Structure 1
Amino acid sequence: MANTAPSKPPYILRHHQPGDLGWIIHRHGVLYHQEYGWDERFEAVAASVAAEFLQKFDPARERCWIAEWNGERAGSVVLMKKTDEVAKLRLLLVEPKARGLGIGARLVDECLRFARQVGYRRMTLWTNSLLVSARSIYEKAGFELIHSEPHSLFGSGLIGETWEREL
């Protein structure tokens, strides 16, 4: 008889620990430079978001999840309070070697689940049009593009996008 039980994901999710936000900043700087040519100003954006998260961290309303695969960090996401009713998804990242395992979608799902659980009514995020995989995850999770605008915050020819969804 074949085993029909659903298989367990080959990764785990956990809450952040000391050093994780530094890793998130580092990997955002390195990966986005390698994959998209973004300059050090993007690393500064990631550092600013991480610093704000750590300095204002409210464990009752905010979270950071780290995905681990084969004993190494493989992905991350941060959920921050924007207002009492609106949560903001930040710093979604999946390591290239771990892509295709469903980590990105699972991290977004965890944000949505937690946001509903703690009483947020809406979630927003900001991304860039060329991040096709991330945009696909957001769209499948029910987010809708509400605004786009050209910018040059960390490279040329970029289009920033704001996505939102009701919870």
Structure 2
Amino acid sequence: MTHQQESKVVVRRADRPGDFGWMVMANGETYAEQFGWDTEYEALVARIVADFATSRDPAREAGWVAEVDGQRAGCVILVATTDPDVARLRILLVTPEARGCGLGTRLVQECLDFARAAGYRHVTLWTNDILTSARRIYEAAGFTLIDEERHHSFGSDLVGQNWVLDLGSWGCPGPQSR
């Protein structure tokens, strides 16, 4: 992939054959390569994506894929929770070769715009503290860290973090991906 000025960058709905499989594969391969995570993580992503693909409510849940020059380079999904006022941001990923183009921010913005339009009041997410780039995106979007807990998952000792965003208190429209 080339520099942002020379590349065609598109953020679109995850609605094409291969999108869901790519989400699982890209998450599994990227985090194995970058952090040594085992297939337990890929299995978690597969469950999240399968649940989304088979039972999503299109009025309340959506997914997006970022492409650079026609190649998938990032993804995210927004899912409902048991609380009708709360959505959950899941599986944000930008491939290593596409990082630095603002794709992660654009994907998160799509989620937040959709969440507002769908009537959610809060968006939550769970991440790990070693995912520093993602955490910076969440902080810039207005998410607040609410708790942390050490855990052993994906073959690694990690610190899991729960974040929340009150959609009523974040008034900046942010960058548009259209």
What TM bracket, shorter-length normalisation? over 0.9
Q: Deviations over 1:9-40 (max 9, x none)?
A: 83111111222111000011101000000011
- Moved beyond 4 Å, runs of 4+: none
Give the 5 Å matches for 1:41-120: 41-82=40-81, 83-120=83-120
Structure-1 separation of matches of 2:85 and 2:150: 28
Cα distance in 2 between the residues matched to 1:141 and 1:77: 15
User: How many residues are matched?
Assistant: 161
**How many angstroms apart in 2 are the aligned matches of 1:18 and 1:86?**
29
- 1:153 & 1:47 partners in 2: Cα distance? 16
Deviation at 1:71, TM superposition (A): 1.0
Alpha-carbon distance between aligned partners in 2 of 1:10 and 1:86, rounded to the nearest angstrom: 34
SS in 2 for 1:74: strand
Structure 2, gaps ≥5 residues long:
168-178
Q: What RMSD over aligned residues (CA atoms) do the two structures have, in Å?
A: 1.4
Which amino acid in the other structure matches residue 128 of structure 1? N
TM-score of the two chains, using structure 2 as the length reference: 0.87
Residue 14 of structure 1 is matched in structure 2 by 12
| Sequence identity (%) | 51
Aligned position for 1:158: 158
Deviation digits for residues 74-113 of structure 1 (CA, Å, limit 9, x no counterpart): 1000000013110100010001111111000010011111
User: How far off its partner does 1:54 sit?
Assistant: 1.1
Please name the residue that 2:27 is paired with: 28
Where structure 1 has 5 or more consecutive residues not aligned to the other structure, the ranges are 1-6
